[in-house]
Amino acid sequence: MSFENLKSLLLYNKEGLILFNSAFFLYFFTAFLFCYQLARKNERARVWVFTLFSLYFFYKACNEYVLLVILSAIVDFYISNRIHTEQKDLVRKRLLWFSVVINVGMLCYFKYTNFFIQIINDVTAGNISPVNLILPIGISFYTFENLSYTVDVYRREIKPVDRFMDYLFFLSFFPKLMMGPIVRAADFIPQIRQPYVLDRKDVGKGMFLIISGLFKKVVLSDFINQNFVQYIFDDPGRYTGLECLFGVYAYALVIYCDFSGYSDMAIGIARWVGFKLPPNFNKPYQSSSITEFWRRWHISLSSWLKDYIYILLGGNRKGTVRQYINLFLTMLIGGFWHGASWNFIFWGGVHGGALGVDKVWIQWQKARSWMRSTPLRAGLWKAGGVLFTFHLVCFCWIFFRMEHFSGAWTMLHQVAFEFQGHLLPQLLNAYPQVFTLMAIGYLLHFLPNVAEKKLEEGLEMMPVWASVAIMVMFIWFLNEVKTLEPMIPIYLQF
């Protein structure tokens, strides 16, 4: 390899993001593990090695914006320590609000400036030019982690760390960079002090999570998205309602496998280096209510919204009506957090409204015990709840995926008025690989937990060399999957 090629490989390249399923990450992670093993017996050395590799990971992902991570760590480290030592409540509150303004202001500047400019232009018929800003990767996640840390210190629920490198390590921890999970300092920082011990169970558990995450992300999510979903959502008016409906079902699987696959890999990698992160997804499409869905979907985000937005607004402490308003506002904020678009706000608003309706439904059910008086009735109500919740979530995914409302309405129109269900055999024949993978994905998702547990236990009992052999074979399998020729979109014009 020439010097220029090596330089291109090691320096930031906006066309070559460092993803878990990229070739460069394999080299990066190998080098990291080698250095981390050399430093495994010294706590300070482990922190420095991990932090430096994490900052390099940030640099490869977003170039000079790595400085934002360092800057936000400096600000919140010193503010939180000042809040902890300060005795005057007014001063503590002002320091907290200063932290909130800095963190939220930084997030809003990079993520929402052009959105607000568009609103101003629409309202005033102005012509303000959009600002040429690049959204720093991971800023939504480490901003929420900063806020939760400072708020927890303010509430005196945790003590701030006294070493800056520990906090920078927590904030920059590279496995959770791009898609989370959102980690709480109270869960993470105490593990820094613990000695690094990697046993067979950790290797097996990490292996299971990494393999399952890669399978979800590369085999299921990426392939189905590239070969089916993007065609349907890019121009739904060209497709029948049947194709649009299956496109929505496919996207529901794609977004789940994308988010949960990345989270699984992050948690698995963390397990290999001595850190236990909480699970972030728990088979959300098995939920029989929208409330249960948000207990299973992106758990770290939903719990964050509950603890730092919903409770701050008053939660359920100020009456039923106020509770519903708080739920709605919390989900609006959650939708806006996902992206600077009215579609995301609408998505969050529908979920917020659905959570309020679900509370009413739960109370109505409790007054009618006959609905679940027998196992058969209880099972039927649960099955009906799962079916309804899944389709409500799918309806919301349409607005989440579409860039504009017009596309979402077009897709809904096609499903409602141009369904053409008799074309199902032709549709299945047109995309055999896609629908095979969709069937596998949904089958795995609805498998009982006991089957998944058995597989985990099997990997945990394997010696390390066998686990490595499985990983090598699985990487070979992924390479074979990637060689599949992309399918040409087929529009069924009958």
338 in catalytic set: yes
The active-site residue, picked from 338, 391, 413, 445, is 338
State the Cα–Cα distance between residues 234 and 229, nearest whole angstrom: 8
In this structure, the number of other CB atoms found within 10 A of the CB of residue 461 comes to 11
Please, are residues 210 and 265 in contact by the beta-carbon 8 Å criterion? yes
Please, are residues 256 and 179 in contact by the beta-carbon 8 Å criterion? no
* H helices, E strands: number in the chain: 23, 0
Query: How many CA atoms are closer than 13 Å to the CA of 245, on its beta-carbon side?
Result: 17
Encode burial over 175-200: b for 16+ CB neighbours within 10 A, e otherwise: bbbbbbbbbbbeebbeebeeebeeee
State the Cα–Cα distance between residues 104 and 4, nearest whole angstrom: 40
**Residue whose structure tokens are 């090598």:** 472
Take residue 438 and report the two structure tokens written for it.
Answer: 């969709």
**Residue whose structure tokens are 């996207």:** 251
**Closest by Cα among 344, 342, 337 to 108:** 337
Which 3 state secondary structure label does DSSP give 492? Answer: coil
Angle, CA of 393, 396 and 398, to the nearest 5°: 120
Take residue 294 and report the two structure tokens written for it.
Answer: 């948000």
Q: Tell me the chain's radius of gyration from C-alpha atoms.
A: 24
Question: Active-site residues: which are they?
Answer: 338
